[in-house]
């Protein structure tokens, strides 16, 4: 997976943030994840080699953006216009931006954004019903060309039928939580989300089981290295890819 992290660090704002993997990893090195800093790879997508060619060359692969922070974090407001300019310049790459701060989407938006950049997908995180009902109405009302939803970590069964019915959602991803403090992810929730997507003919991807995965009355403890492969074995993906 190609990633670009122009800044690092974040602030926890909702239940899905409780066991944030960035905080967990930073803690191993005694680093405070709540301190937001611009990274040395800020301009990575536009760096060139000696032949004046972009070093980052991809074929059909997405660039997952700001995976150790949130692109719309207020501490990054001063840097975001330059980041948008980099995204604009690399129109041949497709950038995927996952956010819990969709309410801040318009802050620092480029003047030429219009109805959205063709090379950008905005993915709105909704870990429970409360966050889905708060974020998705905002999400659907914004000028965005490509929209997806991710329930990760999925903390309960979530009904998004009325949002899928708009025809504006291009895909839904579900996944459990990893780490030693992981909360339970129930197979029944995943199955229900898949059925909602089939009902509205929206692509669905069961990304990972998480560390504590419940199926029926049995709880499975799954190693990190096996969480994605076990999800794929469930055979729930619909029109994904």
Tell me: the pLDDT tens digits for 81-115? 999 999 999 999 999 999 999 999 999 999 999 99
Q: Which pLDDT belongs to residue 59?
A: 87
Give every CB contact of residue 210 below 8 A, 6+ residues apart in sequence: 153, 154, 175, 176, 177, 178, 182, 183, 184, 185, 222, 227
The yes-or-no verdict on residue 241 having pLDDT over 80 is: no
What is the helix (H) or strand (E) element at residue 96, kind and residue range? strand 94-99
Q: What is the pLDDT of residues 11-28, one digit of tens each?
A: 999 999 999 999 999 999
Of 59 and 156, the structure prediction assigns the larger pLDDT to: 156
Give every CB contact of residue 120 below 8 A, 6+ residues apart in sequence: 87, 94, 95, 96, 97, 144, 145, 146
The answer to whether residues 76 and 101 touch, using CB atoms and an 8 Å cutoff, is no
Q: What is the pLDDT of residues 23-66, one digit of tens each?
A: 999 999 999 999 999 999 999 999 999 999 999 999 889 999 99
Q: Mean pLDDT across the chain, nearest whole number?
A: 97
Q: Which pLDDT belongs to residue 1?
A: 82
């Amino acid at each position: 997976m190609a990633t670009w992290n122009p800044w690092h660090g974040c602030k926890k704002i909702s239940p899905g943030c409780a066991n944030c993997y960035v905080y967990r990893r930073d803690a191993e090195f005694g680093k405070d994840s709540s301190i937001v800093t611009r990274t040395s790879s800020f301009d990575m997508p536009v760096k060139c080699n000696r032949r004046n060619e972009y070093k980052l060359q991809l074929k059909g692969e997405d660039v997952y953006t700001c995976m150790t922070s949130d692109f719309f974090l207020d501490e990054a407001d001063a840097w975001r216009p330059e980041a948008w300019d980099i995204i604009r310049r690399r129109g041949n790459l497709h950038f995927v931006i996952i956010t819990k701060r969709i309410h801040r989407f318009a802050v620092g938006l480029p003047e030429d954004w219009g109805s959205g950049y063709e090379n950008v997908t905005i993915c709105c995180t909704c870990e429970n019903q409360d966050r889905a009902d708060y974020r998705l109405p905002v999400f659907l009302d914004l000028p965005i060309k490509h929209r997806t939803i991710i329930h990760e970590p999925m903390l309960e069964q979530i009904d998004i039928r009325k949002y899928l019915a708009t025809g504006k959602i291009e895909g839904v991803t579900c996944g459990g939580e990893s780490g030693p403090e992981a909360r339970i992810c129930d197979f029944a929730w995943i199955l229900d989300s898949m059925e909602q997507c089939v009902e509205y003919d929206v692509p669905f991807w069961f990304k990972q089981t998480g560390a504590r995965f419940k199926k029926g009355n049995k709880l499975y403890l799954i190693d990190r290295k096996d969480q994605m492969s076990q999800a794929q074995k469930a055979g729930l993906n619909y029109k994904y890819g």
